[in-house]
Structures are given as structure tokens and as C-alpha cells.
Amino acid sequence: MLGRPLGKYHLQKLLATGGMGEVFLARQEGPASFAKTVVVKRLLRHLAADPAFVKMFLDEARLAALVTHPNVVQIFELGEENGTYFIAMEYVRGRSLRDVGRALPEGRLEPGLAVHVAAQILHGLHAAHTLRGDDGAPLCLVHRDVTPENVLVGFDGAVKLVDFGIAKAASSTSTQRTTLKGKVSYMAPEQFQDRPLDPRTDVFACGILLYELLAGCRPFAGASEAAVMHAILGAEPMPLLERGFGVSPRLSAIVDTALAKDPADRHASAEEMAKELEAWALEEGAAASTTALRDRMRALFGDEPAGGQGAPPASTDPVFTEAAGPSRTVQMTAPMAARPAVLAAPAKTSRAPLFFAGIALAVL
């Protein structure tokens, strides 16, 4: 399939394979030497005959394409050729936030840069949370999978949120309410309890990301996924203020608010948390910029490789973890309060030195 066209795209390199699709680096070519590098996600062939999976894939493209924001990867096209469905999307030359963490000497980023990254993620989330349909009605989109793997940091300093693969929208009906998908270590308490989800669910996950960036470890520890679930549900994380990394009381309090067990005690929106972080940065004289983040990326990874084909960091061990290994995507068929969670095997993925936007949709 490589080298052959899929629609107007020539597939060049397989970047990853998941439970639903394959993701390729691709080239779009046109008249007068026009050429553009994109990422193409193709629905797996054996799923193309299943109407349920086709519907999920189409929902993915339809909803993700509606989110237009500088901090969210752009969707270009939904296509179909000889029964093969595919999505073409923006190609980001850079690394995932996971790889940035691995490249940092102690897994920690300077507070000003960490806050800048978190604020950019929150602005992208707010754009998704406030999205409206053609009729003007709110879509109530919740990402549900805000993780270091799903945040891309470009070699130019841009921060982009990717993979709305398990996002929920009130207008979609692709999955049942009792199916829970996501990475355990980044889920909010309400996701384990089959309670309603709203933007504050993503705020909780962003609080975990910011805690990781500042401390080099996750706030909720456990030797197993079940133990991490119970920690998220019932344990209070050690405040950043007590970890001794020079985090100010105010910044520690902002993160504590984001990690509140009860959604009512968190920031009311992603935008509210972003504004608090930006206000802290200005008052502390720690405001960072895209240029500063670009320079930090160059210090970590060197100059941008030609064509973006850089080698991955030398270490492949997860830095952002206090649990026994990296988080996995799970499915639970009943609320945790009702009976123990049933963990499904993680989807097989291949790691690539360059990251991309992989997306797929489910619903609230």
C-alpha cells in the first residue's frame, strides 16, 4: 500500500496502528509542483464491513473537523475510495509531550514553560467544549483522553491537542453510556462512576498533566491500574508545594483546584483555569512564549531534523509515572462502584519519532 495513492494522497510511511485504524505519513501533490505533507488515518480493512465501526469513523471525522483552533490539529478531509474510509489531517513536526518529559533530565519543565504548555492545551480544550452545531445548539464535546501522548509540541514551539478518538458529544450515538474508554491514569473520578461528564472532566486531566510537568511524576500512584483508580477516587495527592521544586503556593493551589474530586470544586471551565495560570505567570514574571518553548525544544532535541525525521529520545522508559509502567487504554463495562473494572487488552501501537493527530469519536 505504501507508495500507492489513496485518494489524492500518496502513503509514504506507517506511523502507528491502533484498534480502529492505521496512521500514515502521506504526501499530497498537485499542479505546478504543489506538494504538502499530511497525515492520513485509514479505517482498518476488516472493520470497513462493520456498519458500527464505519459510523464511529465517520462521527470522528465529522466532529473533529468542526474544532478549529490553533491549539488543535486541523482536519482537512474525510475521503472514501473503493470502500476504504480515511481522514487527512495536519502534520505536526515535533514530539509528543510524553517524549518531552522523557528528554528532560528529571522529567520536569521550568514552571513558566510548564504553565505555558498547560494554558495552550486548555485553550484548545475550551474551543472544543464550546463548539456549537450548525443549528447553534451546543455539542457538549468532552475530549476524555487528555494525556501526554495526545499533546504535540512542535519544533516551532506550537502546542497542539490531538486525538479526539474517544471524545463524547451529546449529538452522537456511537457508543453506549456504560462503556468507558481512556487511559486510567488520566481519568477523573466521575469517569469511573458512570456520572455525567462535562468540560471539568478534561480540566482534571489537564491538572494531572501540569502536575507531571512540574514534579516529574503523576499525582496518583499505584502498583496496578486498579490501585491507580482507587487513588484517583479516594486519595489526596501530595501538594506540589510540599515536593520542594520551587512551586509557589498560588500555582500549587491552582493545580489542587483542578484535581478536586468533586467537579463542582474545580475550575468551572478550561478557559477559567487557563486565565488563572496566565495571571500567575504575569504576576510572577514567569510568562513564557512560543519562542521560549521553541528554544527549549531545540535544547532538548537539537535543531529540527530535515523533514522532521528526528530520532526519538535515547530513553524509552516512562518518566511521567509513579505506577508500574505506562498507562493503557481500558474499557470498563460497568461503573466502578457497581463491580470491579474489567480491563481490556491495550491496542497495539507502533511508536514513531514524529507525532501526528489520530482521532476517533464516541459520545455522551
CA dist list (Å): 201 to 187, 196, 318:
8, 9, 24
Nearest to 115 by CA among 319, 295, 296, 279: 279
CB 13 within 8 A of CB 4: no
Q: Which of 59, 99, 135, 145 is catalytic?
A: 145
Nearest to 336 by CA among 169, 182, 202, 136: 182
CB 344 within 8 A of CB 331: yes
Show the DSSP H helices in the chain as ranges: 51-64, 97-103, 111-129, 189-192, 199-215, 225-234, 249-258, 270-284, 290-301
Copy the grid coordinates of residue 111: 514552571
Interaxial angle between packed helices 199-215 and 111-129, expressed in degrees from 0 to 180 and rounded to the nearest 10: 170
CB 234 within 8 A of CB 336: no
Please confirm, yes or no, whether 202 is among the known catalytic residues.
no
Copy the grid coordinates of residue 88: 487527512
CB 316 within 8 A of CB 326: no
CA distance 251 to 241: 9
CA dist list (Å): 246 to 105, 120, 203, 253, 313:
17, 22, 23, 14, 27
Catalytic residue positions, numbered: 145
